[in-house]
């Protein structure tokens, strides 16, 4: 959150609202006068609304500032001033005003709606979710409330919940709005339901043929579904309508890359750069450019593009590795989950009436998608993808266990007579959410949860699911680093915002895992990504043995598995296993030099070498 | 310089090198190693090539756990000395600890030749022969040492180990009694003033049995308790609390005592490890009726349920232990690392169940073998738990540690990996044990080298898995 720093209450507020700080971001809500005492200001507010409506924003602004100086909580004046600042492009002031409107009146649907859209636009998804849920609470019969939830949940990678709300919009509005249909289509594409998504795109485009976002989404669906010709046609059509559109060009570059036409793809990105006033690409474009250069063997240039992309992401999002948060949590987890304490803690019982999770653990980009695709080709296993639920439980736990402590210390409540079955409740929360997501099929005995870095919570997972297999995908740490630099992800407290912090987080987590393993009896199997590539069948057999399932040949032909993996690995897992992904770091030996001292001990402990 | 750090502020006066050396020697003898080191450091800074100082500094470094530095200093002392015989006598022990047995033998033999009337040289030579698994030579050398010094406890003990490993038990047990007179054994029995039991029967007073030595020994010799009960029905046993789950199975719980002051008054005393001698055990008469230990059924059920959750179904459950108690005198030779189990971990069809306890448990965190490893040892509280778990396993692979004895006394199949020169109880060459019918022994064929042991164990395990199917 970029709330402006408060300086003096007498100074103009640094947020740029035009109000004094004492009437704006430093407002003392408790000291506000009662609403009736400022009722004589209502006519002024009405004049401001009128003036704003007639385009006299100078007058409207002056009136609002005057009213708010006397009555800083007048909702009408706040709303008009918000509109004015928003129209001026003063985002910081607009956000501050909007938050105040919602804060003063949580039942204001319009303001809540605005706030959700604003938060979504800046990528603050978890916060947006809080307000979107509130919108549904305020107006359960208003389609837009559900539309917000649909968008947020799709964006938050919980597409099943998003789908529920999009369908609610259709039901409540009684219409099939083409934009909504396109949004639903994108949602279904993220669930791997390509055919249904395609039909919805067709319907949407038939009703509204020239919506840019719709056509782009459709093109990306076709690309993901390996229908390269269809994707090309759509992009050609968009080129006619919107020549030099950056989104179209990036999608074209990705498509050409997947078609192995790397030279052309690179040329498209160069065109894209030329369109920018400073000749520069955005983070996603730079990552794509790096990957193309990597495929072409131009490693120095590739690495430069990756690094530039990382820098840009840092600058644009302001997200850097939450170093102290990570260090603190890792230390507390390691200090809590020790053999002596674990001997006194209960374990959740094992449910036999529902499918049980298999946890596929690993650093992002270490091969977890590959393992999930392989396993979910088995008739008894369905893919759950990256489930955010364990993380949710770490946040919910103190409340659910009625504890004044945080995670993991809140587990101390399990010693209380009224909470000793608390783990069963947490387990059921997880299983119920899974059921709601619609992942499970009648024949599935297991489902996978491949949320990367869930291994941070190995201790909690083992308490909740003492029988669940924990499959930890291990890969040469330097290869993990190459992947971390060439992709953007936010897992691991933004550790991948720079190479060094990715390495630091990697070492922290691996050391924590080793601690858990030394202190606990876990149903844990390390699987080397390299073994998977080198001796796929033996590796798959050992994983299935470990889970307790008979071998199934379908697992070896996982690239024929129709399921579409939503994560960044999708383009790779639809190809047969290939050797190029092993020891890729050798191409970047020199560039990785800064992190080798950080990783060296772990590389050795894992049984790898650097050569 | 100030000679003693307790004389803070003392005036620095030049001190003859000989006096500093003597003082350093006194400090070393008194166990004040840091102080000895400080003095020797000063001395060597002034006279870097003084052989006595180099040698003593090496001894100090060795006692401080820095054998490489010790060797370097002692070797230099030997090369500089006019008479290196004392240094050779001592360096052989450093070579032995570092596993350089040829160098140890050469040094010990040279020392013995240079100091023909020094029984300590022969004692050291006997110890080297034992480590080289040359018991006949060790006996011959120890005999010569004892001609010169009949009360040299270490030579008797070296003799005992050699005789017992050869299966010559009658004299072996007699010499074994000297174990309480070597420095490391002097505190294993209480000083009560009461006479040692001679094996004769009496029922009008108590006999106190002491569960002495390591837990493995207690488990092994606990088999003699019924034999004792026949002769002295009024016996009591002093033992560590950890051993109650074991001894409770052979003696009523109310006869087990964890504190000396709680023991009943007694007429005679006997170490558990002295019972084979009193029993007159020979190779052919070892009492080996297993099982003499059993797991509690309720605990077995609980652990089986726990294990069923953790261990994949369909895989053989193979217990493993890779290290003994680190304070054991022989731990360096008997313990391995979990990493050395790699060939075993590569055998398909098995899940490894770690029964490891203590600091080496942390190695479980760094295990990345193919067979799943279940670190159940982290949840084990006592020997009751261990026995219940052993009951749930199909096989146990272990180094020579108490879990080996426990599993063997329960009559479970257990494969024990032994150092080149193992403890006397495992005898020579054979792969079975007259003490435990269900034991299979895998011996090092080259001193300190485990690789071929694990290769053989892995091959045998493959056959074993195939035979189960």
**What ipTM is given for this predicted complex?**
0.78
Instruction: State percent of chain B over pLDDT 70.
Output: 97
Confidence tier at A8 by pLDDT (50, 70, 90):
low
Q: Which residue has the higher pLDDT, A488 or B294?
A: B294
B291 cis-preceded (ω within 30 degrees of 0): yes
B374 and chain A in contact, CB less than 8 A: yes
The yes-or-no verdict on residue B9 having pLDDT over 80 is no
Q: What is the pLDDT of residue A354?
A: 93
Instruction: State percent of chain A over pLDDT 90.
Output: 57
Q: What is the pLDDT of residue B2?
A: 44
The nearest CA of chain B is from the CA of A575 a distance in Å of 26
Radius of gyration (Cα) for chain B, nearest Å?
25
Interface test with B, best of A519, A521, A529, A544 (most B CBs within 10 A): A521
Q: Which residues of B touch A516 (CB under 8 A)?
A: 365
Q: Which residue has the higher pLDDT, B353 or B262?
A: B353
B340 and chain A in contact, CB less than 8 A: no
Structure confidence by residue, pLDDT tens digits, A519-532: 999 999 999 999 88
Q: Which residues of A touch B373 (CB under 8 A)?
A: 524
Contacts of A230 (CB under 8 A, 6+ apart): A222
Mean pLDDT along residues A342-348: 90
- Taking an 8 Å cut-off on Cβ atoms, the answer to whether B374 and A523 are in contact is yes
Query: Is B234 exposed, middle or buried (CB count within 10 Å of its CB: 0-12, 13-18, 19+)?
Result: middle
Q: Which residue has the higher pLDDT, A379 or B14?
A: A379
Confidence tier at A30 by pLDDT (50, 70, 90):
confident
Structure confidence by residue, pLDDT tens digits, B441-462: 999 999 989 999 999 999 999 9
Q: Which residues of A touch B378 (CB under 8 A)?
A: 339, 342, 518-521
Say which CATH class B297-468 falls into. alpha beta
SS3 B320: strand
Q: What are phi and psi of B425, to 5 degrees?
A: -65, -20
Residue bearing tokens 């390509």: A194
Among A339, A467, A515, whose Cβ lies nearest the Cβ of B365? A515
Confidence tier at A564 by pLDDT (50, 70, 90):
low
Q: What are phi and psi of B317, to 5 degrees?
A: -100, 110
For chain B, give every domain's residue range.
Answer: 17-183, 207-285, 297-468
| A residues 541-600 lying closer than 8 A (beta carbon) to B | 541-542, 545-548
Q: What is the pLDDT of residue B183?
A: 81
DSSP designation for B10? P
Strand partners of residue A357: A447
Mean pLDDT along residues A137-151: 94
Structure confidence by residue, pLDDT tens digits, A88-114: 988 889 999 999 999 988 899 999 999
- Taking an 8 Å cut-off on Cβ atoms, the answer to whether A522 and B374 are in contact is yes
Q: What are phi and psi of A170, to 5 degrees?
A: -60, -45
Q: Which residues of B touch A519 (CB under 8 A)?
A: 378
Q: What are phi and psi of A15, to 5 degrees?
A: -70, -15
Q: What is the pLDDT of residue B95?
A: 93
Structure confidence by residue, pLDDT tens digits, B13-68: 567 888 888 999 999 988 899 999 999 998 898 888 899 999 999 999 999 989 99
| B residues 85-144 lying closer than 8 A (beta carbon) to A | none
Element holding A504 (H helix, E strand): helix A499-519
Provide the CATH number for the domain formed by B17-183 in this structure: 1.25.40.10
Q: What is the pLDDT of residue A35?
A: 80
The yes-or-no verdict on residue A572 having pLDDT over 80 is no
Superfamily of domain A323-605: P-loop containing nucleotide triphosphate hydrolases (3.40.50.300)
Contacts of B324 (CB under 8 A, 6+ apart): B331, B334, B335, B399, B400, B401, B402
B315 and chain A in contact, CB less than 8 A: yes
CB atoms within 10 A of CB B13: 8
Confidence tier at B186 by pLDDT (50, 70, 90):
confident
The nearest CA of chain A is from the CA of B62 a distance in Å of 29
Structure confidence by residue, pLDDT tens digits, A201-216: 999 999 999 999 999 9
Q: What is the pLDDT of residue A563?
A: 52
Contacts of A589 (CB under 8 A, 6+ apart): A610
For chain A, give every domain's residue range.
Answer: 1-105, 323-605
Confidence tier at A3 by pLDDT (50, 70, 90):
very low
Chain center to CA of B447: 16
Alpha helices in B47-203 (DSSP H): 51-63, 67-80, 85-97, 101-114, 119-131, 135-148, 153-165, 169-176
The nearest CA of chain A is from the CA of B420 a distance in Å of 28
Dmax over Cα atoms in chain A, in whole Å?
81
Q: Which residues of B touch A547 (CB under 8 A)?
A: 312
Q: What is the pLDDT of residue B156?
A: 96
Structure confidence by residue, pLDDT tens digits, A398-450: 988 988 899 999 999 999 888 888 999 999 999 999 988 778 889 999 999 99
- Taking an 8 Å cut-off on Cβ atoms, the answer to whether A518 and B378 are in contact is yes
Mean pLDDT along residues B234-249: 95
| A residues 116-175 lying closer than 8 A (beta carbon) to B | none
Reduced 3-state DSSP string for A558-607: HHHCCCCCCCCCHHHHCCCCCHHHCCHHHHHCCCCHHHHHHHHHHHHHCC
The nearest CA of chain A is from the CA of B452 a distance in Å of 21
Q: What is the pLDDT of residue B5?
A: 47
The yes-or-no verdict on residue A169 having pLDDT over 80 is yes
**The whole model's pTM is what?**
0.78
**What's the rounded Cα separation, in Å, for the pair B355 and B357?**
6
Structure confidence by residue, pLDDT tens digits, B101-160: 999 999 999 999 999 999 999 999 999 999 999 999 999 999 999 999 999 999 999 999
The yes-or-no verdict on residue B260 having pLDDT over 80 is yes
The nearest CA of chain B is from the CA of A593 a distance in Å of 25
CB atoms within 10 A of CB B85: 18
Q: What is the pLDDT of residue A411?
A: 92
The yes-or-no verdict on residue B410 having pLDDT over 90 is yes
The yes-or-no verdict on residue A463 having pLDDT over 90 is yes
Task: For B366, name the nearest residue in chain A, comparing CA atoms only.
Answer: A514
The yes-or-no verdict on residue A2 having pLDDT over 50 is no
Mean pLDDT along residues A574-596: 78
| A residues 472-491 lying closer than 8 A (beta carbon) to B | 474
Candidate from A529-543, B13-27, B275-289, B430-444 with smallest mean pLDDT: B13-27
Q: What is the pLDDT of residue B233?
A: 94
Candidate from A26-30, A129-133, A563-567 with smallest mean pLDDT: A563-567
Among A467, A474, A546, whose Cβ lies nearest the Cβ of B368? A474
- Taking an 8 Å cut-off on Cβ atoms, the answer to whether A515 and B373 are in contact is no
Q: Which residue has the higher pLDDT, A563 or B29?
A: B29
The nearest CA of chain B is from the CA of A330 a distance in Å of 16
The nearest CA of chain B is from the CA of A416 a distance in Å of 22
B187 and chain A in contact, CB less than 8 A: no
Query: Is A92 exposed, middle or buried (CB count within 10 Å of its CB: 0-12, 13-18, 19+)?
Result: middle
The CA-based angle B139-B144-B146, given to 5 degrees, is 90
Mean pLDDT along residues A246-252: 91
Q: Which residues of A touch B375 (CB under 8 A)?
A: 517-518, 520-522
């Amino acid at each position: 959150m970029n709330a402006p720093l408060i300086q003096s209450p007498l100074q103009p507020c640094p947020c740029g609202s035009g109000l004094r700080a004492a009437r704006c971001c430093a407002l003392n809500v408790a000291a506000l006068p009662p609403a009736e005492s400022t009722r004589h200001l209502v006519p002024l507010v009405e004049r401001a609304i009128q003036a704003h409506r007639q385009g006299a924003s100078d007058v409207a602004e002056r009136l609002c500032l005057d009213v708010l100086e006397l009555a800083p909580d007048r909702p009408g004046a706040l709303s008009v001033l918000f509109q004015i600042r928003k129209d001026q492009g003063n985002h910081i002031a607009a956000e501050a005003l909007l938050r105040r409107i919602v804060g003063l009146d949580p039942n204001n649907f319009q303001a809540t709606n605005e706030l959700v859209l604003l938060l979504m636009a800046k990528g603050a998804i978890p916060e947006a979710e809080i307000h979107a849920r509130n919108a549904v609470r305020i107006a359960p019969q208003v389609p837009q409330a559900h539309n917000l939830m649909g968008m947020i949940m799709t964006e938050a990678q919980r597409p099943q919940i998003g789908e529920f709300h999009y369908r609610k919009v259709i039901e409540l509005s009684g219409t099939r709005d083409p934009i909504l249909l396109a949004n639903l289509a994108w949602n279904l594409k993220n669930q791997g339901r390509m055919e249904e998504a395609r039909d919805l795109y067709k319907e949407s485009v038939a009703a509204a043929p020239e919506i840019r976002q719709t056509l782009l989404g459709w093109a990306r669906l076709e690309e993901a579904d390996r229908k390269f010709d269809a994707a090309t046609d759509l992009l050609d059509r968009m080129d006619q309508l919107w020549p030099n559109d950056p989104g179209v060009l990036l999608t074209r570059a990705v498509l050409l890359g997947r078609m192995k036409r790397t030279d052309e793809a690179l040329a498209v990105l160069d065109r894209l750069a030329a369109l920018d006033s400073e000749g520069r690409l955005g983070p996603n474009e730079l990552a794509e450019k790096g990957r193309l250069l990597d495929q072409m063997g131009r490693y120095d240039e590739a690495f430069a593009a990756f690094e530039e992309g990382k820098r840009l992401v840092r600058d644009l999002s302001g997200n850097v590795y939450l170093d102290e948060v990570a260090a603190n949590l890792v230390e507390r987890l390691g200090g809590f989950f020790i053999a002596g304490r674990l001997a006194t803690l209960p374990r959740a019982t094992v449910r036999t009436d529902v499918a049980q999770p298999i946890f596929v653990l690993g650093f992002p980009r270490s091969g977890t998608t590959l393992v999930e695709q392989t396993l979910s080709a088995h008739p008894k296993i369905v893919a759950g993808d990256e489930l955010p639920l364990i993380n949710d439980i770490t946040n919910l736990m103190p409340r659910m266990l009625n504890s004044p402590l945080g995670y993991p210390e809140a587990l101390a409540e399990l010693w209380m007579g009224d909470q000793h079955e608390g783990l069963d409740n947490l387990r059921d929360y997880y299983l119920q959410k899974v059921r709601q997501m619609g992942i499970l099929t009648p024949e599935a005995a297991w489902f996978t949860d491949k949320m990367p870095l869930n291994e941070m919570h190995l201790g909690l997972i083992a308490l909740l699911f003492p029988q669940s297999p924990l499959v930890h995908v291990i890969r040469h740490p330097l290869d993990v680093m190459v992947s971390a630099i060439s992709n953007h992800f936010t897992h691991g407290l933004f550790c991948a915002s720079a190479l060094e912090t990715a390495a630091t987080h990697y070492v922290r987590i691996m050391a924590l895992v080793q601690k858990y393993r030394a202190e606990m009896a876990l149903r844990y199997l390390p699987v080397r990504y390299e073994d998977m590539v080198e001796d796929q069948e033996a590796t798959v057999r050992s994983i299935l043995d470990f889970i307790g399932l008979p071998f199934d040949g379908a697992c070896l032909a996982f690239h024929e598995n129709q399921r579409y993996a939503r994560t960044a690995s999708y383009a790779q897992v639809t190809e047969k296993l290939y050797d190029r992904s092993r020891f890729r770091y050798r191409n970047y030996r020199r560039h990785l030099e800064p992190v080798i001292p950080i990783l060296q001990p772990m590389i050795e402990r894992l049984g790898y070498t650097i050569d | 310089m100030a000679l003693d750090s307790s004389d803070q502020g003392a005036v620095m006066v030049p001190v003859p090198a000989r006096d500093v050396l003597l003082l350093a020697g006194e400090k070393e003898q008194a166990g004040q190693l840091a102080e000895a080191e400080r003095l020797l450091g000063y001395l060597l800074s002034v006279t870097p090539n003084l052989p006595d100082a180099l040698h003593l500094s090496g001894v100090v470094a060795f006692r401080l756990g820095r054998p490489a530095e010790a060797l370097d200093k002692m070797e230099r002392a030997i090369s500089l000395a006019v008479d290196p015989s004392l240094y050779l006598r001592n360096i052989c022990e450093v070579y032995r600890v570092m596993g350089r047995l040829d160098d140890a033998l050469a040094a010990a033999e040279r020392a013995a030749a240079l100091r023909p009337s020094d029984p300590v040289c022969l004692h050291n030579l006997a110890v080297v022969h034992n480590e080289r698994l040359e018991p006949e030579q060790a006996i011959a050398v120890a005999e010569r040492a004892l001609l010169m010094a009949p009360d040299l406890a270490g030579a008797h003990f070296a003799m005992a180990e050699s005789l017992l490993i050869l299966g010559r038990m009658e004299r072996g047990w007699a010499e074994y009694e000297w174990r309480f007179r070597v420095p490391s054994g002097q505190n294993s029995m209480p000083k009560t003033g009461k006479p040692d039991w001679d094996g004769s029967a009496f029922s009008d007073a108590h006999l106190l049995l002491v569960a002495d030595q390591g837990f493995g020994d207690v488990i092994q010799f606990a088999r003699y308790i019924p034999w004792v009960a026949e002769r002295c029905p009024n016996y009591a046993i002093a033992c560590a609390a950890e051993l109650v789950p074991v001894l409770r199975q052979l003696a009523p719980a109310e006869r087990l005592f964890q504190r000396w002051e709680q023991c009943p008054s007694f007429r005679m005393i006997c170490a558990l490890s002295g019972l084979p001698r009193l029993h007159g055990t020979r190779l052919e008469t070892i009492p080996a009726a297993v099982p003499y230990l059993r797991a509690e059924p309720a605990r077995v059920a609980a652990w089986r349920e726990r294990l069923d959750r953790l261990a994949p179904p369909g895989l053989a459950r193979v217990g493993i232990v890779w290290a003994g108690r680190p304070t054991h005198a022989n731990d360096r030779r008997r313990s391995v690392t979990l990493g050395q189990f790699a060939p075993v971990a590569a055998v398909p069809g098995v899940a490894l169940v770690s029964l490891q306890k203590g600091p080496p448990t942390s190695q479980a965190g760094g295990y990345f073998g193919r067979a799943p490893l279940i670190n159940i040892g982290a949840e084990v509280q006592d020997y009751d738990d261990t026995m219940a778990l052993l009951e749930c396993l199909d096989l146990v692979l272990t180094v020579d540690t108490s879990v080996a004895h426990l599993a063997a006394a329960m009559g479970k199949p257990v494969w024990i990996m032994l150092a080149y020169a193992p403890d006397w109880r495992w005898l020579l060459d054979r792969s079975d044990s007259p003490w435990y019918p269900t034991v299979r022994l895998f011996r090092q064929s080259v001193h300190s080298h485990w690789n071929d042991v694990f290769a053989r164990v892995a091959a045998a395990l493959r056959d074993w898995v195939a035979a189960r199917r």
